[in-house]
Amino acid sequence: MTLAEKAYEALRHDIIRGELAPGRPLRLADLGERYGMGFSPLREALNRLQAERLVTAESLRGFRVAPLSLDELHDAVSLRIVIEVEALKASISQGDDAWASGIVSALYALNVQAARTGAEADIWTLEKRHHAFHRALLAACNSPWTLEFFERLYAATERYRIPVLLASALPVGRDVQAEHGALAQATLDRDAEKASALLSQHYLRTVEDLAGAIRSKQAKLRASG
Amino acid sequence: MTLAEKAYEALRHDIIRGELAPGRPLRLADLGERYGMGFSPLREALNRLQAERLVTAESLRGFRVAPLSLDELHDAVSLRIVIEVEALKASISQGDDAWASGIVSALYALNVQAARTGAEADIWTLEKRHHAFHRALLAACNSPWTLEFFERLYAATERYRIPVLLASALPVGRDVQAEHGALAQATLDRDAEKASALLSQHYLRTVEDLAGAIRSKQAKLRASG
DNA sequence: GCAACAGAAATCTTCGAAAATAAATGAAAT
DNA sequence: ATTTCATTTATTTTCGAAGATTTCTGTTGC
**Interface predicted TM-score (ipTM):** 0.95
Distance of CA A213 to the CA centre of its chain: 17
Residues of chain B with Cβ-Cβ distance to A47 below 8 Å are: 4, 44-45, 47-48, 51
Q: For position A168, what pLDDT does the model report?
A: 86
User: What are φ and ψ of residue B103, in 5° steps?
Assistant: -65, -45
Instruction: For chain B, give the percent of residues with pLDDT over 90.
Output: 90
Q: How far is A203 from chain B (nearest CA, A)?
A: 17
Measured between alpha carbons, how far is residue A51 from residues A60, A77, B7, B90, B107 in Å? Answer: 17, 20, 15, 25, 30
Protein-to-nucleotide distance from the CA of A222 to the C1' of C25, whole angstroms: 34
> Which residue is nearest nucleotide C20, judged by alpha carbon to C1' distance?
A60
**CB pairs < 8 Å spanning A and B:** 74
Residue B225 has pLDDT above 70, yes or no: no
Task: For residue A75, give every residue at least 6 positions away whose Cβ sits within 8 Å of its Cβ, in sequence order, or none.
Answer: B143, B144, B145, B146
Average pLDDT over chain B, rounded to an integer: 96
> Strand C within 7 Å of which CB atoms in B 18-57?
25-29, 39-40, 43, 57
10-residue mean pLDDT profile of chain A (225 residues): values are 98 98 98 97 98 98 98 98 98 98 98 91 95 98 98 98 91 89 98 98 96 90 81
| Cβ pair B83:A78 closer than 8 A | no
Q: How far apart are CA B47 and CA B34, in angstroms?
A: 18
Q: How far apart are CA B65 and CA B25, in angstroms?
A: 6
Q: How far apart are CA B146 and CA B138, in angstroms?
A: 9
Q: For position B78, what pLDDT does the model report?
A: 98
Q: What's the average model confidence in pLDDT over B9-23?
A: 98
Q: Which of B214, B198, B107 is nearest to B159 (CA)?
A: B214
Q: For position B172, what pLDDT does the model report?
A: 79
- Closest residue in A to B52 (Cα) is A51
Protein-to-nucleotide distance from the CA of B68 to the C1' of C1, whole angstroms: 39
Q: Which domains does chain B have, with CATH numbers?
A: 3-65 (1.10.10.10), 70-224 (1.20.120.530)
Q: What's the average model confidence in pLDDT over B43-55?
A: 98
* A47 closest CB neighbour out of B48, B60, B79: B48
Choosing among A9, A12, A79, which should be mutated to test the B contact, i.e. which has the most B CBs within 10 A?
Answer: A79
Distance of CA A85 to the CA centre of its chain: 17
| Cβ pair B47:A52 closer than 8 A | no
Nearest nucleotide from residue A27 CA, by C1' atom:
D11
Is any Cβ of chain A less than 8 angstroms from the Cβ of B61? no
Please give the residue that has the higher pLDDT: either A121 or B82: B82
Q: How far apart are CA A212 and CA A208, in angstroms?
A: 6
Q: For position A30, what pLDDT does the model report?
A: 97
How do the residues of chain A divide into helix, strand and coil, expressed in percent and rounded to 5?
Answer: 75, 5, 20
Question: What region does B169 belong to: left with phi over 0, alpha with psi -120 to 50, or beta?
Answer: alpha
Residues of chain A with Cβ-Cβ distance to B53 below 8 Å are: 148
Residues shown for chain B: 225
Q: For position A170, what pLDDT does the model report?
A: 82
**Type of residue found at B9:** E
Q: How far apart are CA A155 and CA B23, in angstroms?
A: 29
Q: How far apart are CA B40 and CA A39, in angstroms?
A: 10
